Structure 1
Amino acid sequence: MSTSSIPEEVVRRHSRREARARAFSDLQATRARLAAGTSLKPEFEYELLTMFARNELGASVTMPALYALFAIACMFWAPPAEAIIWLITVITAKVVLLDQCRRFLTIPQSKVNVRLWRRRLILLELLSGLALACFALVGVRETLQAPTEMVFSSHVFIFATLIVVLAIRTMFAATIPAILYAGTVPMTIAVVFRLLLLGNVFYLALATMAIGIHLYFLFLSRGMRATTLSMLEYRTEKDALIAELEEQKSVSDEARRRAEAANMAKSRFLATMSHELRTPLNAILGFSEVMKEEMFGAMNNPQYREYAGNIHESGTHLLHLINEILDLTRIESGRYELHEAPLRLTDITDECHRLLKLRADGKGIEVIEETDPDLPLVWADLKALRQVCLNLMSNALKFTPKGGRIILSVGAMPDGGQFLSVRDNGPGIPADEIPKVLQAFGQGTLAHQTAEGGAGLGLAIVQNLMELHGGALNLQSELRKGTDATVILPGYRVLQAMVPLQPLGQETHRLKGIARTRPARLRPGHPGAGGTAAVG
């Protein structure tokens, strides 16, 4: 198998594995639904039964009290004995139902047989519904022989009782249609039968209304059931999404941990190998320099002297690369310590200009300094900022063609900070390649064609060193117009002169030639905080 076909094969294998997992999950869900005897998911069926049981237990006191009120009311047209017998019957059926609901909630979900418990609760609700239906038969004979006003009031009360029962049972059992039917149909049939016994058009209309109201509450229960099922589905999807997010988070945490461990291992390896390479490299540089300078006698063959010079130049380049790798690994591992002191950015640009002047003159490049000598001191690491300036100038010298121009600028920022800028009129960098060149070992395509050799570490080191100072590197470039690399130091690193404590001429102690300064807006705990610096 070719190397290019491996990723495609891995993707196909992963998709087949996911398809098999989904098919197995669907098969398990289908088997569970068939075993439960319902089209719903078993967990949904369990949730619906749980809602019903909790609703019943929540009204364990109010419902018997309501039945007691019904019994007291029916004593106005029925014998008290019948009313008490009905009350005892309906409360007994309700107590049995509540006891089973309490037992259902105490059993762990994993041990619940949903199909068995659904049948049990349906039967118990049917018994409770039949007991409620007996309320319509209490005092039937006495009502038929009572005065017309008593007949009217008693049957209107029974009709109202039916509406109350339908409303309560719809709220409690709307999510399970079978339980709702078992608890309400017997009561409706009994009330309709009693109203039809009177043989009056008015009571016939009440009977028709009772059936219509029952159908209306059944319609409402369908909507409530659909809403509840949607809520359960959304909750299940939310739980699944949360579980997936937790799983992905654990995978990403593990991947990050491995990446950090690999990065640390890489840094340790580069640091170790760099140290190991520097020892023989120093010997190569020393001996090649002795041979190139012919310190122990002239070489008869001039080509040997040229070879020695090439060896020395290559060794110097390799040593520079090793030093850059060491600096980068120290910064990334957090072992680069800043030795901060008051300094001027203009002094750094002057020094770097002198160091690279011969190289610039060799290419015929004009270096122009645009600096403000009156800028205040900054609190920073001299070695780090010198390396920043040298790296930026070296890059500019690499990319600027012969006869070009480089401008070194140092100035103040609007927020109180200071900047150091290196601008050239070289070939420039494409906008889409700027993020690449800022990475370690990153180089643009145009750089390979026009610039001298390099490892692509200069800008990465500059960016890291400026982050250690709380600053930033801003790289702007345009093709065929040049590049502008600007490093910015924040305002809290700029030192401002202290105002005189007394008016001039009235000081107790006069310090001639020395201006006392203090750090301005330094962060608490900063090495420069709490002290003063002398401005020369």
Structure 2
Amino acid sequence: MSDLTVEMVQRGRGPSSEEATRRREIARDMRSAREKLNSTTGLERAFDYELLRVYAQYRSGAGIPLALFAVAMALAAVIWVPPMVAGMWALCVFVAITLNTAQSRRFLRLDPEEVSHALWRRRFAVGDGVQSVCWSLMVGLALTGGRVFALFGLVIAAAVSTMLAATIPAAAVAGLVPLCLATLSYLAVTRETDAVMLVIMAVGSQIFFLSLSQRLYTSTVGALQSRAEKDAIFAELEQAKANSDEARRRAEEANLAKSRFLATMSHELRTPLNAILGFSEVMKNEVFGAHQAPSYREYSNDIHDSGMHLLNLINEILDLSRIEAGRYELNEEAVQLAGIVDECRHMIGLRARAKSQSFEQFVDDSLPRLWADERALRQIVLNLLSNAVKFTPPGGEITLKVGWTSSGGQYLAVKDSGPGIPEDEMDTVMSSFGRGSLAIKTAEQGSGLGLPIVKGLVELHGGSFLLKSKLREGTEVIVMLPASRVMDTLPAVDFEAEAKKAEAKPGRRRMARVA
């Protein structure tokens, strides 16, 4: 079993997202390297087939245009050679084109898994070489005066051959060599300057077409690699979506199990707690007579206080679990925020007076009512005031503010004069069961659920929660409720005007009947 680290506890079991991404990249690189080792071209094996397929598609689609070009060349060559010779040359080229087209279509019909890449690469190279030899036979026109026309035809044939065979470099070279040799053979017939310049230009054009085919090959390989990377990304996204769906399903099952567990345990814990609280209260109040030993009364008080603390903790856990699960239902009604704050201050006042703490209030009593859950608002205010009393030292001051927000909503601010919260512990304080280091040292014991519950209840009302704190200056919590929760005051009803309208309506109806 692997060691459990703090990082693993924070993010859960399993690797982090960065580590998972790095592992996927390593696996993809290893798979690519393995396929390159099994390939004959140094590329991935899937690329070998794709390059052959593209070549076959080009060849099978160019059969008819090449045949028509050969016929046009043969008809034009009749000017310099007998029709029979031109026809035989055209027939030879046509047969080579037909064989290459048939071979390409046969390749396209084969199962990709059964294709021998090296064998078909050689076949295509041989087919291109044979077809180029047939094209190069037009060199015979040089002996009859059609020198420029023949060079033009050889250049066009070289351009077509290298472009069609660009995805197989060996086939492109095999198709270009016979044409280059045929072009250079003109130098054996004549040494005229014009003829030499034409031959040099023709050979240079053919070599340029070969370089273009190499660039086309490079761009095709790049396009295949981009498509492979895109397919890999899509596959990873689909896998990630499947993992996300599975994780969501497990999270929902875990959440349901947690809800069932909390519902069961709350019942199982509250039943004995009721007995503990009831009997401890009887013993604490000495209902059946005074204790013979004074320590028994202290023990009874400790039992009762501990039971109340446990009951409050259970209630807070249940409230937080309902909020996180989205099952906390708001029982909304018209409530007065200032009145709730004043009632809660009176409830907390006894604890504050025990620590010689004072309250300073800045409450706008003219605020209209809010459409909200009174129990939730009361819990928000009680939690904030309880925290303020906990963290404020004896003799300190707690400030309460209730008023309008700039957007037309209402806000509640509770500020204490306690030790404050370090900036790096803000997230810890806002997490469930999280408590700051200064709170552990100076404050009373608590569950660490007060602020998360407050934040969750405020967000259920569509409001916002702001926590501000500085060391040795205290902490301020601001709860802002939206303007949509504020109930506008309806205009006063003019009873005299309403009575006049009511009297006028029957009169109109009587007039209508008379008419």
TM norm structure 1: 0.85
Alignment of 1:217-366 (within 5 A): 217-366=209-358
Q: What code does the residue aligned with 1:489 have?
A: L
Cα separation, 2, equivalents of 1:124 and 1:381:
85
Cα separation, 2, equivalents of 1:382 and 1:20:
57
String of CA shifts for 1:13-63, please: whole Å, max 9, x gaps.
Answer: x99x99996897467425522xx4x33332222222122122223333322
Cα separation, 2, equivalents of 1:409 and 1:210:
92
1:171 matched to 2:174? The reply is: no
Unpaired segments of 5 or more residues in structure 2?
Answer: 9-13, 502-515
Alignment of 1:20-35 (within 5 A): 25=31, 28-33=34-39
Q: What code does the residue aligned with 2:497 have?
A: Q
Change in 2 beyond 3 A, CA 1:438/1:27: closer
- Specify which of 89, 99, 121 is matched with residue 124 of structure 2: 121
* DSSP 3-state at the match of 1:474: strand
Unpaired segments of 5 or more residues in structure 1?
Answer: 144-150, 511-536
* DSSP 3-state at the match of 2:497: coil
Match of 1:148 in 2: none
Cα separation, 1, equivalents of 2:2 and 2:97:
74
Q: What code does the residue aligned with 1:77 have?
A: W
* DSSP 3-state at the match of 1:497: coil
Cα separation, 2, equivalents of 1:289 and 1:22:
69
String of CA shifts for 1:50-100, please: whole Å, max 9, x gaps.
Answer: 221222233333222222211111111111111112112212211221122
Sequence identity of aligned pairs in percent?
Answer: 46
Match of 1:518 in 2: none
Alignment of 1:35-54 (within 5 A): 36=40, 38-54=41-57
Alignment RMSD, CA only?
A: 2.8
How far 1:389 sits from its partner (Å)?
0.5
Cα separation, 2, equivalents of 1:400 and 1:75:
111
Match of 1:91 in 2: 94
Q: Contact 1:196–1:204 (CA<8 Å) still a contact in 2?
A: no
Cα separation, 2, equivalents of 1:300 and 1:167:
116
Cα separation, 2, equivalents of 1:334 and 1:395:
25
1:508 matched to 2:499? The reply is: yes
Q: What code does the residue aligned with 1:508 have?
A: A
Q: Contact 1:271–1:329 (CA<8 Å) still a contact in 2?
A: no
How far 1:198 sits from its partner (Å)?
3.4
Q: What code does the residue aligned with 1:233 have?
A: Q
String of CA shifts for 1:147-194, please: whole Å, max 9, x gaps.
Answer: xxxx2xx21111112222222222222232211122222122223224
Q: What code does the residue aligned with 2:113 have?
A: S
* DSSP 3-state at the match of 1:506: helix
Q: What code does the residue aligned with 2:42 have?
A: S
Q: What code does the residue aligned with 2:115 have?
A: V
Cα separation, 2, equivalents of 1:478 and 1:20:
47
Cα separation, 2, equivalents of 1:405 and 1:264:
44
- Specify which of 52, 68, 79 is matched with residue 76 of structure 1: 79
- Specify which of 169, 172, 177 is matched with residue 180 of structure 1: 172
Match of 2:397 in 1: 405
Match of 1:453 in 2: 445
Q: What code does the residue aligned with 1:473 have?
A: F
Q: What code does the residue aligned with 1:102 have?
A: R
Cα separation, 1, equivalents of 2:369 and 2:251:
41
Cα separation, 1, equivalents of 2:69 and 2:2:
80
Q: What code does the residue aligned with 2:135 have?
A: L
Change in 2 beyond 3 A, CA 1:18/1:491: closer
- Specify which of 403, 409, 419 is matched with residue 417 of structure 1: 409
Change in 2 beyond 3 A, CA 1:99/1:494: same
Q: What code does the residue aligned with 1:156 have?
A: V
Alignment of 1:362-441 (within 5 A): 362-441=354-433
Change in 2 beyond 3 A, CA 1:100/1:509: farther
Q: What code does the residue aligned with 2:239 have?
A: E
Q: Contact 2:332–2:374 (CA<8 Å) still a contact in 1?
A: yes
Q: Contact 1:195–1:206 (CA<8 Å) still a contact in 2?
A: no
Q: Contact 2:124–2:171 (CA<8 Å) still a contact in 1?
A: yes
* DSSP 3-state at the match of 1:480: coil
- Specify which of 101, 105, 112 is matched with residue 102 of structure 1: 105
Alignment of 1:147-226 (within 5 A): 151=145, 154-226=146-218
Q: What code does the residue aligned with 1:315 have?
A: G
Change in 2 beyond 3 A, CA 1:497/1:120: same
1:63 matched to 2:66? The reply is: yes
Alignment of 1:475-514 (within 5 A): 475-499=467-491, 506-508=497-499
Change in 2 beyond 3 A, CA 1:403/1:7: closer
Cα separation, 1, equivalents of 2:319 and 2:236:
41
Q: What code does the residue aligned with 1:317 have?
A: H
How far 1:211 sits from its partner (Å)?
2.6
How far 1:422 sits from its partner (Å)?
0.9
Q: What code does the residue aligned with 1:196 have?
A: A
Match of 1:521 in 2: none
String of CA shifts for 1:352-372, please: whole Å, max 9, x gaps.
Answer: 011111111111111122111
* DSSP 3-state at the match of 2:304: helix
More helix by share: 2
Report the more deviating stretch, 193-202 or 333-342. 193-202
Cα separation, 1, equivalents of 2:188 and 2:341:
109
Q: What code does the residue aligned with 1:374 have?
A: S
Cα separation, 1, equivalents of 2:26 and 2:482:
58
Cα separation, 2, equivalents of 1:434 and 1:475:
8
